[in-house]
Amino acid sequence: MPAFEHGKELSLFAVDACSVSKIFEQNGSLAVISHIKDKVKDFVPDVMTERGRKEIASLAYKVARSKTAIDDAGKQLVSEIKAKALVIDAERKKIRDELDAIKDDIRKPLTLWEEEQEAIQAAKELAEKVDKDHSEAIELNLLFNRQKEIAAREAELAKMEAERKAAIEREERERRIAEESAEKERRAAEQKIIDARLAQERAEREKTEAIDRERLAKERAEIEKREAAERERMLLERAEQEKKEAIERERMEVARVEAARKAEEESRAKDKEHRRKINNEALTSLVSAGIPANHAEMVIKMIVCGHVPHVSIKY
């Protein structure tokens, strides 16, 4: 709650950053208005003494200064916090209206006294003039005409008073209209500034996003290029590996065929040697039986070639 000092400050409200930020929150002015009302509610106006009238004027002036101080602080806060402009303006208007009402309420006894004194003075002057005119009318025997003139002047004074009040009301109404018009123009100018700032921020954001998209596209292209190169390298390595494996399989097949051929040749050689040995043993047996060697050899060849029916050599 703000500090209030009677008789030391020009207003009932000492503005500081902390109190301003709290006042212009939603319905924050209620606390200030209520506090000021509490401060002035026990004030007893005294219009019968010079000191009392000065105190009334001073207190009303302090309320007016409070309104001006809070309103000025609100204007400064609005320029710093655009987003809260509507709430702050609403609270400023509420404070102005409430404090004007408090000021008018406080000053009302003095205003009524001043109006009463003016009326008394006017009545006194009018009475003096009426007395003078009455005396003159008696002297000139024109009292009736003078009374009519006095009545006309009284009506003129009443008309002048009504015109004065109407002029004051008209000036107040024109002042309020001018303030509202200026306020609308200020809000429109502030909205233009906000819109321009938002448009600039949006353009900067779109520019940044475009740069980011371009950067990401370049990075993606670079990654895809590296991945394509890696795939090509892996394909080349796989082809090279498959080529090596095919050569190795071919080499192993050749070796296998060669080994099979050698094994077959060795087997044939062993079988041939085995057959030759058996044939020789059979030949030796025939020769031992008294068959000439050349005849025995011919018999062995005929048996081996299958030319002797029902006869074979067991190897």
- Three-state DSSP class for residue 33: helix
What the block records as the tokens of 22 is 């709290």
Quote the domain boundaries for residue 299. 276-304
User: In tens digits, what is the pLDDT along the chain, a chain of 315 residues?
Assistant: 333 333 334 456 554 545 666 777 778 888 888 888 888 888 899 999 999 899 999 988 988 888 888 888 888 877 776 666 677 777 878 888 888 888 888 888 888 888 888 888 887 887 787 777 666 656 666 556 666 777 777 787 788 888 878 888 888 888 888 888 888 888 888 888 888 888 888 888 898 888 988 988 898 989 998 888 888 889 888 888 888 888 888 888 888 888 888 888 888 888 888 888 988 888 898 888 888 988 888 888 888 888 888 888 887
The conformational region for residue 4 under phi > 0 = left, psi -120 to 50 = alpha, else beta, is beta
Helix axes 85-140, 143-288, angle to 10 degrees: 180
Q: How far apart are CA 86 and CA 256, in angstroms?
A: 97
**The pLDDT value given to residue 144:** 63
Looking at residue 6, what is its pLDDT? Answer: 35
Q: Which residue has the tokens 């003016």?
A: 118
**pLDDT score of 150:** 72
Task: Quote the pLDDT of residue 9.
Answer: 46
The label of the residue with tokens 């020769």 reads 287
- Single residue among 139, 170, 186 that ends a domain in this structure: 139
Residue 190 pLDDT: 85
- Give the span between the Cα atoms of 151 and 159, in whole angstroms: 12
Is 41 part of any domain?
A: yes
Domain's final residue, options 139, 156, 181 = 139
In a domain, 46, yes or no: yes
Is position 58 within any domain? yes
In a domain, 31, yes or no: yes
Instruction: Annotate 129-148 with DSSP letters as a single string.
Output: HHHHHHHHHHHHT-HHHHHH
Residue closest to 146 by CA, chosen among 156, 128, 132, 157: 132
Count of other CB atoms within 10 angstroms of residue 135 = 12
The predicted model scores a pTM of: 0.29
| The total number of structural domains that make up the chain | 2
Question: Domain end: 139, 165, 197, which one?
Answer: 139
| Exposure class string for 305-315: b at 16+ Cβ within 10 A, else e | eeeeeeeeeee
Tell me the DSSP string of 81-117.
-GGGHHHHHHHHHHHHHHHHHHHHHHHHHHHHHHHHH
The pLDDT value given to residue 134: 63
- Please tell me the predicted confidence (pLDDT) of residue 189: 85
Confidence (pLDDT) at 1: 35
pLDDT at 199: 87
What pLDDT does 5 receive? 36
Q: What is the pLDDT of residue 142?
A: 56
Domain presence at residue 11: yes
**Within a domain: 195:** no
Say if 179 falls within a structural domain.
Answer: no
* Calculated CA dihedral for residues 244, 247, 253, 254, nearest 10 degrees: -140
Answer whether residue 111 is part of any domain: yes
